[in-house]
Chain A
Amino acid sequence: MSRAVKQEFWAGVRALAPLLVGVAPFGMIYGVLALANGLTPAAALAMSSILFAGSAQFLFCQLVGVGAPATVMVAEVGLLNLRHALYSAALAPRLAHLPRRWKLLLAYLLTDEAFAAISHREAESQPSPDRHWFYLGAGLALWGGWQLSTAVGVLLGARLPADWPLDFALPLTFIAIVVPLIRSRAMLLAAGVAGSVALLAAGLPFKLGLLAAALAGMAAGWWAVDKA
């Protein structure tokens, strides 16, 4: 590896490292939650590689726990992870020149946290022909941190003190991601409608309120742009 490649890779790892402060407690609580909802330790660990999406894994466990139908589970996980298509669209032009194996690998590693680190890097520094190594460093750092913390959660299970509010790491992380995105009235409207519908529809079975809220928020944003 050349010096520039190493530099980009480790810059990616370093950019992602602070975000592990939120990932680690959430990974642990996911491990605990998975077992509590009847998943086997093997399934709980495998999900961290197969889905590799914290909020969707959390939702998946809750839906297993309430016995949701398979179609509902796939629809909700799909909608919850639809935002990754946006991240994919944002990165696509920068990855267009790479060979297919790089595209597959970086797509697999594309998460909220990695995307946040990458966006920051793109805004703060000069373009680099080795930037994909930065993506890889950030993606692998998150992947490793996530596997490790979910394994700790699965191993410790119910021995983690119940009064530690570890699950609060997820709303806090999402607040940190969403708030800077709200830079227009249309965005504010989308957030307001999604939040309101989420409260009103919280009583629906199988967490369908989440689905309704996300769709209503998107529709509101779309309406605001279309009207303008």
Chain B
Amino acid sequence: MSVWLIMVICGLLTFGLRLSFIAAEGRVTFPRWFRVLLPFVPVATLTALVIPELLLADGALWLSWRNTRLMAGIVAIIIAAATRSVLWTLVGGFATLALWSSLIG
């Protein structure tokens, strides 16, 4: 199948997910298990993306203070919890990454 066709299918699917509840509001009621599951979707998918970025290097677990991404990630988590600001989390995370890299480099 061509990359273009798969791309369009993925695009339509994504648009469908974004439109789903907005279009169905007031017309469809969803089963209880679905409404219970839904709030966990962002946390589960985004954490599944983030954790390997912080803890894996070339596919292997790297638990070390020399792991600059892990250190920057921990600082970012603390900043995110304290400020709830995307901007400060980004600034603090990148600053820690740069600082830590130069310190251990």
> Which residues of A are interface residues toward B (Cβ below 8 A)?
18-19, 21-22, 39, 43, 46-47, 50-53, 55-56, 60, 64, 70, 73-74, 77-89, 91-93, 95-96, 103-104, 106-108, 110, 112-113, 116, 165, 168-182, 186-187, 190-191, 193-199, 202-203, 209-210, 213-218, 220-222, 225-226
Contacts and interface: CB of A to CB of B under 8 A. Distances in A.
Contact of A103 (B7, B19, B49, B51): B19
Contacts of B45: 79-80, 82-83, 194, 210, 214, 217
B40 A187 contact: yes
B13 to A, nearest CB: 5
Interface string B5-33: 11111110111011111111110000001
A74 B80 contact: no
Contacts of B103: none
A221 to B, nearest CB: 3
Nearest to A188: B43
Contacts of B104: none
Interface of B: 1, 3-11, 13-15, 17-26, 33, 36-56, 59, 61, 69, 72-73, 76-77, 80-81, 84-87, 89-91, 93-94, 97
A63 to B, nearest CB: 9
A41 to B, nearest CB: 13
A202 B43 contact: no
Contact of B47 (A80, A91, A191, A225): A191
A74 B3 CA distance: 11
Contacts of B76: 171-172, 175-176
A77 B14 contact: yes
A78 B80 contact: no
A74 to B, nearest CB: 6
**Of listed B1, B26, B40, residue having the most chain A CB within 10 A:** B40
A73 B14 contact: no
B36 A78 contact: no
Given A51-B14, A86-B41, A203-B59, A194 B22 contact: no
Given A169-B90, A190-B40, 6 more contacts: A18-B86, A51-B10, A93-B25, A107-B18, A175-B73, A179-B81
Contacts of A83: 41-42, 45-46
Contacts of B50: 171, 174-175, 178, 195
A78 B17 contact: yes
Given A92-B25, A178-B47, A203-B59, A108 B86 contact: no
Contact of B17 (A88, A177, A198, A203): A88
Contact of B41 (A85, A113, A170, A210): A85
Contact of B48 (A104, A107, A180, A210): A210
